[in-house]
Every structure is written in C-alpha cells, then in structure tokens.
Amino acid sequence: MADEKNKFKSKILLVEDDKMLADMYITKFSKEGMEVIRAEDGEKGLKIAKEIKPDLILLDIIMPKLDGFAVLKELKKDPGMGNTHILLLTNLGQSEDVEKGQELGADDYFIKANHTPAEIVEKVKYLLTKKDKK
C-alpha cells in the first residue's frame, strides 16, 4: 500500500508573525508530507513567494512591515503566481475584511478562532488535489 503522505509533496509558504502558531502549523503540515517555508512578516513573505512560487500560501493579515492585504494585492499582479492558491488565515472577522480579501483574489478566508489547525490542513489538502486553479 502506498504511503498516503507522499500524495501531498507540496510546497507551502506560511506568512505568520506568531512563532508559536507558525510552529504548530508547520508541524501539522509536515506530518502530511508537505514542505513548509515560513516568513515572519509580509515583506519577507512577498519576496519568498516570488522566489519559490509555492503551491499554496497561508497568509496572515496583521503583520509587521507589510500587511497581508498588501501582500495579496502584489501577488495577484504577478502572472507567475497564477496557479498559487492563497488562503487568508487571520483574526480579522469583520465582514468588510472578508469582502476585501475576496475582492483582492484570496481563494479562501479563515478566521483563526473559528477553525482548528486540522480543518485548515484538510482544506489545504483539498485545494492541492486540484490540478490547476483555472
């Protein structure tokens, strides 16, 4: 029987300034066989995203140097990022924040307090099984 973990050899960029939370997500995704690269602020996240072209980006909104909305906006301008799924993972739950994320092109918007890490992992796995976003 094939190892199920081999199914998800994907590269994920986690842009999160909370080290404890980031470590928890890195552990969860690593157990699924995914490679996780972390950026602790928006500026680094944008730079790394353009360099490595990950399969999926988990993006916090409230971060130092460059917020998640600004990062999302810049990534959406880059034609090389067209097949990269971008999920906003934040504590901002106001409807205007959710709408802004959707308008800027996020694939999904998760409020940290409303979803367990396991639920986020499952959503990521689902998105990564899609061959192409378009």
> Within 10 Å of residue 113's Cβ, how many Cβ atoms?
8
Q: pLDDT digit string (tens) for 25-62?
A: 999 999 988 999 999 999 999 999 999 999 999 999 99
The first and second tokens of residue 63, run together, are: 């971060």
Its pTM stands at 0.87
Instruction: Name all domains of the chain by residue range, CATH numbers in brackets.
Output: 9-128 (3.40.50.2300)
Q: pLDDT digit string (tens) for 58-116?
A: 999 999 899 999 999 999 998 888 889 999 988 877 888 888 888 988 998 888 888 88
Residue type present at position 22: A
Sign of CA dihedral 2, 29, 61, 112: positive
Give 63's contacts (C-beta < 8 A, 6+ positions apart): 15, 16, 17, 40, 41, 42, 45
Residue 40's pLDDT is 95
